[in-house]
Amino acid sequence: MILKRLTSSDFDEVFAIMERSFPKDEHRPREEQLALLSDGRYSLITYGRENKAEAFIALWDLSDFCFIEHFAVAPELRGCGGGSAILDELLSSLDRPVFLEAEPPEDDIAVRRIGFYRRHGFHYCDRDYIQPPISKGRAAIPLRLMSYPSPLSEKEFSFVRDTLYREVYRVSAE
């Protein structure tokens, strides 16, 4: 697999994976997602062979920690171990804690997704957390935070939540 930082010319291929992998309320409209590429803290990292994007990670570098906003493998390639290799490569390249959002374990898919992240060293935080609307016209979503490499204390949870609200979602934590 080849890891590379996405250029705007490759964006449509990655956005197609995003649209197939996430419900509408969990990603921004195309133009808003594309505009994030001009924010130096945000990057889309693609993985693939022969210059074809097969997976991507949307990553925010927020000084004190990194936040995986989206991680998806093209549906036709899931279950082959590629996602594990990608996540392991990313985690080994980062020098700060990493956080992501996951659905509460209310169905088999969410349970499997949480298990995947746990196998890679993430810790599930059972504190209530709401992802604010990611864009105008999108809904807020009840989620949970997962942390790597260690569990979140209550104080750390509040700091991470407040930072995500302010920097990623551009809303107040109130």
pLDDT of residue 103: 96
All structural domains of the chain: 2-168 (3.40.630.30)
pLDDT digits (tens, 9 = 90+) for 26-67: 999 999 999 999 999 999 988 877 777 888 999 999 999 999
Please state the pTM of the whole predicted model.
0.93
What is d(CA 44, CA 4) in angstroms, rounded to the nearest whole number?
9
Contact 1, 49 (CB under 8 A): yes
> Helices marked H in 1-153 — which ranges?
11-21, 30-35, 82-93, 108-119
Please, which residues have CB within 8 angstroms of residue 14's CB and are 6 or more apart in sequence?
A: 6, 44, 46, 53, 56
Spatial separation of the C-alpha atoms in residues 73 and 65, rounded to whole Å: 23
